[in-house]
Amino acid sequence: MSLIPRLGRALPWLAVALSLAGCTATASRPTAVEANVTTKAVGYLDAAAVPASLALVPAPPVAGSAGFALDEQVSREARALRGTPRFAQATRDAELGFPEGANQFSCAIGLDVDAQRTPALYRLLERSRIDASAATRVAKKHHQRPRPFMVNGEPTCTPEDEAGLRGNGSYPSGHTSIGWAWALLLSEIAPDRADAIIARGRNYGESRLVCNVHWQSDILEGRFMGAAAVARLHDNPMFQRDLLAARREIDAARRTGQQSSRDCAAEEAVLKVRPASAL
């Protein structure tokens, strides 16, 4: 038999094999933004797709401005909550490492999140956390805004983190960006609990005020960058697959009667306490 016909029949398969090899090679390259945590998780977004925070947020308020006057007022109100249950909640809210961080919205969605029972939801939260954090990084590094505790000399809710926080700019807030991104994503896949989830996104950011590690304007722009990250994520196929799978997991968990193991009534009561002037 002639070699030409055999090659003709083989070429389509060869093309497929080469295409798959190319995909494998591409997937093995660390093109996504890696987490600044001890896990090996990566975000969904390539570095080029991360929102450009320096172009998107204005410079932080300067001393003597109306914006900074509000920052100082909210900070005073927040610091008055030190030693209260709200301060203790702010300490708990500071934890973003996984697996603990996966359940910051456990009460809001009404169930626990873990890698075994809800793997897609766990993955969605962990990877989107990295992208929402990355969305604040360039502006943080550029502005290097001093954090409230560096200005007022008062303690934070996480004293063990203070040394690292001194070298990490305050503006915009990374925790708030993550919390707001999670609020938007979770309200999309658990729409019947959207109000509770969005409220949790707001008070999650406010915990950073109570913790004495962020100013009010940090929080506002953190929400903005979290929303920008979510907009970019919706164009990512892997994110889209995980979002759909996570919604199915939530529906399945509810059918089997799964609930949050936290004291949600107590958490709800505590989170109603907030700085009066906070936006």
- The whole-model pTM stands at 0.86
Residue 40: pLDDT band (50, 70, 90) is: confident
List the catalytic residue out of 218, 223, 242, 247. 218
Q: Which fold has domain 31-271?
A: Vanadium-containing Chloroperoxidase; domain 1 (1.20.144)
List the catalytic residue out of 129, 208, 247, 274. 208
Confirm whether 175 is a catalytic residue: yes
Distance of CA 12 to the CA centre of its chain: 44
Q: Residue 49's pLDDT is what?
A: 98
Instruction: Name the residue among 268, 181, 185, 177 with its Cα closest to residue 214.
Output: 177
The pair phi, psi for residue 274, each rounded to 5°, is -150, 155
Confirm whether 46 is a catalytic residue: no
Q: For residue 14, is pLDDT > 70?
A: no
Which of 20-24, 162-166, 264-268 has the weakest average pLDDT? 20-24
Confirm whether 92 is a catalytic residue: no
Q: Residue 18's pLDDT is what?
A: 36
List the catalytic residue out of 86, 143, 175, 247. 175
Q: What is the mean pLDDT of residues 256-273?
A: 97
Query: How many C-beta atoms surround the C-beta of residue 88 within 10 A?
Result: 14
Q: Residue 24's pLDDT is what?
A: 36
CA distance 132 to 184: 12
Confirm whether 214 is a catalytic residue: yes
Nearby residues of 33 by Cβ (< 8 Å), 6 or more positions away:
42, 43, 45, 46, 47, 50, 130, 131, 134
Q: What is the mean pLDDT of residues 261-268?
A: 98
List the catalytic residue out of 214, 223, 247, 274. 214
